[in-house]
Structure 1
Amino acid sequence: MSQDIQSLLQAGIQAAKDGNRATGRRLLTQVVEADPDNDVAWMWLASCMTTVSDRRRCLERVLELDPTNIRAKQALLALGGNVDRSTFEEIRTSRQAAPSVTSSDASGAGSGVNWELMLFGGMILGIILGGIFVFSRLGVFGEDTPPTFTPLPVVSVPTQPRIPTLPPIPTATLPPFRGTFVAPTLPPTFTPTPIPSDTPPPPTSTPYPQGNFLMLYTSLQEGAVEPDLYQITGDGLDNNMLGSGFRDVAFAPDGQRIAFIRDVTISTGENTTETYPELFIASLDNLAAAQQITDLRTEIVASPSWSPEARELVFISDYDGDEELWYVLADGSSQPVQVTFNQGIDRDPAWRPVLGSREILIASDLNSYLSTEIYSIQLVPPDEDVVYTQLTNSEGSSYAPAWNATGSMITFISDRQGDPDVYIMMADGNGEQLITRADGDAEDRSPAFSPDGSFIAFISNREDDRFQLYLIGIDGDVLTRLTFHQRDDLNVVYRPELFFRLQPGS
């Protein structure tokens, strides 16, 4: 695969993950036109299609290229497509191997058991065992020599490194939280109570100036394959380009470093190269000195998220064949460790920003096909099972979760009403509220709480065909457009502000 096609594929996959179906369709269509046998592109293109018939055609093409693709068979079956009967047993087996889910039944419909085949197999096994017994009694194998068998070849599998246990952080470096986080319950519509004219209004807190906050966002020029990185203030007045070749940018809790994804091209022989996405870390004041953290050389490395102590990272990779959650130390001193092992696709990790927390949000299609729900998991060593706690349960997909500064509320995207919209909910999944209402079927993506929790930045195509950066209050009011250009904005993150992380009840 050429470098240009690989870059288009990565950009198309990222657009699909961000809910930007229009851009995803455009980029992935270019990939399959140039490389019609790219089953990865066809699979992702299916998720970007808006009609069932188009999704079926993409999935059927995947199975033409790879008849053993269980995920394509599952998705095609869910869409009412024609699937060979032998597939039912494969799907049943794959579902039985799924990990525990605390809020819903992870098992699926199985197929009937072929009792005649089992009976025949049992008879054959009995004959073999009986023959061995008789021959051994007759001395065929010798009096003291047991039968010898040729062992199956042993496949060498690298030992999975354990997730290291880190020493505690001194409280002088980053003080622990105190107090109880209480998130407000927002009604669907807010009707203010009139205040009589002779009654003085109650005092109100002065909103924190949004211009004091700093955001980073990535943006893709038309015709480009790699996005650029920009810095902008929360009021949109100061907007500057920082560099090229940045995807999936994530601020460290210290506000001084960023993690991001960048394509790396390596030589594979004389006049041949291959390009892979890898995880990098850089200081914001010295982006040119970025340190490469991973060297997985696989199709997908995406969506890094920092631990609250800024010493660990989780991210997504398809190193084992499908997208799973991975872990690595931020200084690059450890090999990446795979955290989740399941038949679903895991995406969009978000580490809860509470000191000592091992809770991570992910979007996964563990219990669905071509659609995702948001789950909470605890980061555990590789020899322990991951337990998934399902937080959302709706038609369509819910994805791209992001915490507020205190870890008490979550914003996310869901297309349950037909188009991707911004929602919020409590940390336990209760109190879901739609924020972007009456937006004319616009596609929203990449939501992020402002550090004070009063606004949500997100990206949308609500005013024209270009995806631009917007700001909206958490009550759904005060919508402000922040960028006005001919590029497509991809994702946005706020620089963390320690003051707001330490505010109980914010």
Structure 2
Amino acid sequence: MADDLEQLLNDGIAAAKAGNKVEARRLIEEVLAKNDRLERAWLALAGLVDTPRERRICLENVLEINPNNERARQALGQLDAAVPSAPATRAVSTPPPAAPSTPPPSRPAASESSPRRAQGPVTVPKGRPGTQATVGAREAWRSQRTQRGFQLSIPFITVAVLGILVIGFGVTLLISGNVNATPTPAVSTTPLPTLSIAQLNATRFPQGTPTLTPAGTIITDVTLQPVGIAPSWTPSNTPAPSNTPTPRPTLPPFSQYEMVFVGEREGTAEQRIFVAKADGTGETQIAIGTDPVWSPDGSKIAYIRIATDTGKPQLIVINADGSDPKIVASTEGDSLVTPAWSADGDKLAFAAKEPDVGNLEIYTVNADGTDRVRVTTHLGDDLGPVWSPVSNAIIYSSDINGRSAFQLILRDMTTGKEEQLTSSGGQNLDAMWSPDGKYVVFSSSRDRLAQIYRMQADGSDERPLTFGADSKENRYPAWSSDGNYLMFASNRNGGVFNLFIMTPDGKNVQQVTNQVGISTAGKFRPNGF
């Protein structure tokens, strides 16, 4: 059930990112109808609702579930600043809530059409003094959904009532003049009856649900005073000041970058290594193998190939044009994968399974093939090392307990100290540092399908950048050296993986290869433009 709701929520967020607001709202409201304690769902819904009141209710629900959600608190503060308080001419009184004479009823079971109600009143978090909602936030949401539609404002009702009286009075004069043909006597002005919000709501909404002001105070009584009618009145529209968006810097075109990637061509399953412009043009094959990675200066490429004589994997370093191949490391086992350069280009890290070890472990070796050192000694496999661009540390994926649940591990290569960065289910793989060392992107199958996530380098603030449904997956993220773009592989448009580029916030996604065979494991060339 939890997995189904999570998938439904992800589908709703994906629909919102795609611009389908109606479908996104429908999906997220369906999620909340089944479980109204999902902080992420309320936060997503806050960006889809139509009115400030609905948005306020969503944000207050977020803070009720997690009072430490600063994003919701800031949004609520902005909403307070944007929505003016009620006019001073309205008499507003807020009676204290009556103490219940009987214990509150037990919470009813949730259904798809009716979210569960919050128990008791919701207190607005600190930072918004003088306000307290006397109705549960989710109760208010239910009321808001029931009463959605056109609601009559007090000025509109006042003018409408006065207009009807004037028209009726005019018709009476006209009839009287036509029948009696006598002058019409002067008519004294009769004050309009006093109307209250309770009476108006009883007419429009028989349940008489009170209306919340922007500050969250319940209006219990607003009296309309009699007004005279001016000889003529012409409405004037004062245009609201327009907000001029801050111009964003223009990003370089993909054609100014180069990339290396793995592809299958000509109907064969043989994996080959290509270089090309990052827009997919100028494709050139330089080797046969897998796992290509640029040296920090962009002059060389390390990759894995299978030796033709022994059938064993080897770590090879070549020039960027494919020339001058050199064997840097090999194994007597059956697996050698995921090479990575140190920030200074002097060393390479990789994962290998040696016969005397029995599982994949991390090793380092000098770029000339000397001084090979084993780094890890875990029970399960370790793979995918990637060196920090700003320190002597690596992040790698480890099946620490041998249970096929890979987590990301941060290791100080000087002291040997390790720290686990992720703790989700599934596989957390393909880690890549941002050029400034502040962020890490990676792929995770925590929700069954592999998607790309971004987090701080210390493991905090995880957030998804891609979403998928059915069998659609997104893998192998890689930064451009200027930090403007992320390249990744996805099968979102068909059965095979192709390369896509997006901005680091998960937006502006564009496909850059469109091959019958796969294109995957793409990486930008450092300083490649």
TM-score range, shorter chain: 0.5 to 0.7
Aligned with residue 363 of structure 1, among 397, 420, 427: 397
Aligned match of 2:144 = none
Percent of pairs identical after alignment? 28
Aligned with residue 289 of structure 2, among 228, 231, 246: 246
Aligned match of 2:482 = 452
- Rounded to whole Å, the distance in 1 between the matches of 2:480 and 2:241 is 34
- Rounded to whole Å, the distance in 1 between the matches of 2:383 and 2:300 is 23
- Rounded to whole Å, the distance in 1 between the matches of 2:493 and 2:253 is 25
Aligned match of 2:359 = 322
- Rounded to whole Å, the distance in 1 between the matches of 2:377 and 2:288 is 30
Aligned with residue 201 of structure 1, among 220, 223, 245: 245
Aligned with residue 382 of structure 2, among 325, 346, 350: 346
Aligned match of 1:376 = 410
Aligned match of 1:219 = 263
Please say if 1:409 is aligned against 2:439.
Answer: yes
Aligned CA distance change for structure 1 residues 187 and 213 (closer, same or farther; 3 Å): farther
Q: How big is each residue's C-alpha offset from its partner over 1:458-492, in whole Å with a ceiling of 9 and x where there is no partner?
A: 11111111111111222222221111111112311
Residue pair 2:381, 2:402 contacting (<8 A) in 1 also: no
Aligned with residue 309 of structure 1, among 329, 344, 363: 344
- Rounded to whole Å, the distance in 1 between the matches of 2:506 and 2:71 is 11
Residue pair 1:226, 1:244 contacting (<8 A) in 2 also: no
Could you tell me how far 1:223 is from its partner in structure 2? Answer: 6.2
Aligned match of 1:149 = none
Aligned with residue 299 of structure 1, among 334, 342, 352: 334
Aligned CA distance change for structure 1 residues 399 and 454 (closer, same or farther; 3 Å): same
User: Match for 1:435: what amino acid?
Assistant: L
Aligned match of 2:273 = 229
**Which structure 2 residues correspond to residues 180-195 of structure 1 after superposition, within 5 A?**
none
**Which structure 2 residues correspond to residues 463-474 of structure 1 after superposition, within 5 A?**
463-474=493-504
**Which structure 2 residues correspond to residues 83-232 of structure 1 after superposition, within 5 A?**
197-221=241-265, 224-232=268-276
Aligned CA distance change for structure 1 residues 447 and 397 (closer, same or farther; 3 Å): same
Please say if 1:282 is aligned against 2:318.
Answer: yes
User: Match for 1:322: what amino acid?
Assistant: N
1:293 is paired with a residue whose SS is: strand
Q: How big is each residue's C-alpha offset from its partner over 1:416-468, in whole Å with a ceiling of 9 and x where there is no partner?
A: 11100011111111111101124544122111112232321111111111111
List runs of 5+ in structure 1 lacking aligned partners: 1-184, 267-273, 500-506
List runs of 5+ in structure 2 lacking aligned partners: 1-68, 83-239
Aligned CA distance change for structure 1 residues 379 and 222 (closer, same or farther; 3 Å): farther
Residue pair 1:418, 1:441 contacting (<8 A) in 2 also: no
Of residues 309-318 and 227-236 in structure 1, the stretch that sits farther from structure 2 once superposed is: 227-236
Aligned CA distance change for structure 1 residues 368 and 197 (closer, same or farther; 3 Å): farther
- Rounded to whole Å, the distance in 2 between the matches of 1:241 and 1:299 is 29
2:250 is paired with a residue whose SS is: coil
Residue pair 1:186, 1:433 contacting (<8 A) in 2 also: no
Aligned CA distance change for structure 1 residues 379 and 498 (closer, same or farther; 3 Å): farther
Aligned match of 1:133 = none
Aligned match of 1:31 = none
Residue pair 1:457, 1:469 contacting (<8 A) in 2 also: yes
Residue pair 1:454, 1:473 contacting (<8 A) in 2 also: yes
Could you tell me how far 1:335 is from its partner in structure 2? Answer: 3.9
- Rounded to whole Å, the distance in 2 between the matches of 1:240 and 1:216 is 9
Aligned CA distance change for structure 1 residues 186 and 361 (closer, same or farther; 3 Å): farther
User: Match for 2:264: what amino acid?
Assistant: L
User: Match for 1:350: what amino acid?
Assistant: V
2:461 is paired with a residue whose SS is: coil
User: Match for 1:362: what amino acid?
Assistant: Y
- Rounded to whole Å, the distance in 2 between the matches of 1:342 and 1:416 is 22
- Rounded to whole Å, the distance in 2 between the matches of 1:303 and 1:427 is 20
- Rounded to whole Å, the distance in 1 between the matches of 2:434 and 2:363 is 23
1:275 is paired with a residue whose SS is: coil
Q: How big is each residue's C-alpha offset from its partner over 1:228-268, in whole Å with a ceiling of 9 and x where there is no partner?
A: 112232333x24122331211010001111111111133xx
- Rounded to whole Å, the distance in 2 between the matches of 1:311 and 1:375 is 23
Could you tell me how far 1:390 is from its partner in structure 2? Answer: 0.6
- Rounded to whole Å, the distance in 1 between the matches of 2:520 and 2:250 is 32
User: Match for 2:366: what amino acid?
Assistant: L
- Rounded to whole Å, the distance in 1 between the matches of 2:453 and 2:298 is 26
- Rounded to whole Å, the distance in 1 between the matches of 2:313 and 2:279 is 32
Q: How big is each residue's C-alpha offset from its partner over 1:177-209, in whole Å with a ceiling of 9 and x where there is no partner?
A: xxxxxxxx9979x99999x75444334322233
Aligned CA distance change for structure 1 residues 249 and 186 (closer, same or farther; 3 Å): farther
- Rounded to whole Å, the distance in 2 between the matches of 1:204 and 1:463 is 29
Aligned CA distance change for structure 1 residues 437 and 263 (closer, same or farther; 3 Å): same
Residue pair 1:187, 1:433 contacting (<8 A) in 2 also: no
Aligned match of 1:391 = 421
Of residues 478-487 and 293-302 in structure 1, the stretch that sits farther from structure 2 once superposed is: 293-302
Aligned match of 1:130 = none
User: Match for 1:341: what amino acid?
Assistant: T
Could you tell me how far 1:498 is from its partner in structure 2? Answer: 8.7
Q: How big is each residue's C-alpha offset from its partner over 1:142-187, in whole Å with a ceiling of 9 and x where there is no partner?
A: xxxxxxxxxxxxxxxxxxxxxxxxxxxxxxxxxxxxxxxxxxx997
Could you tell me how far 1:368 is from its partner in structure 2? Answer: 5.7
User: Match for 1:379: what amino acid?
Assistant: M
Aligned match of 2:202 = none
- Rounded to whole Å, the distance in 1 between the matches of 2:470 and 2:500 is 15
- Rounded to whole Å, the distance in 2 between the matches of 1:225 and 1:297 is 25
Residue pair 1:227, 1:244 contacting (<8 A) in 2 also: no
User: Match for 2:458: what amino acid?
Assistant: D
Aligned CA distance change for structure 1 residues 204 and 397 (closer, same or farther; 3 Å): same
- Rounded to whole Å, the distance in 2 between the matches of 1:216 and 1:317 is 23
Residue pair 1:278, 1:297 contacting (<8 A) in 2 also: no
- Rounded to whole Å, the distance in 1 between the matches of 2:449 and 2:400 is 22
User: Match for 1:276: what amino acid?
Assistant: K
2:255 is paired with a residue whose SS is: helix
1:211 is paired with a residue whose SS is: helix
- Rounded to whole Å, the distance in 2 between the matches of 1:453 and 1:439 is 28
Please say if 1:496 is aligned against 2:526.
Answer: yes
Q: How big is each residue's C-alpha offset from its partner over 1:367-402, in whole Å with a ceiling of 9 and x where there is no partner?
A: 46112011101224xxx7x43211111121111101
- Rounded to whole Å, the distance in 2 between the matches of 1:187 and 1:432 is 14
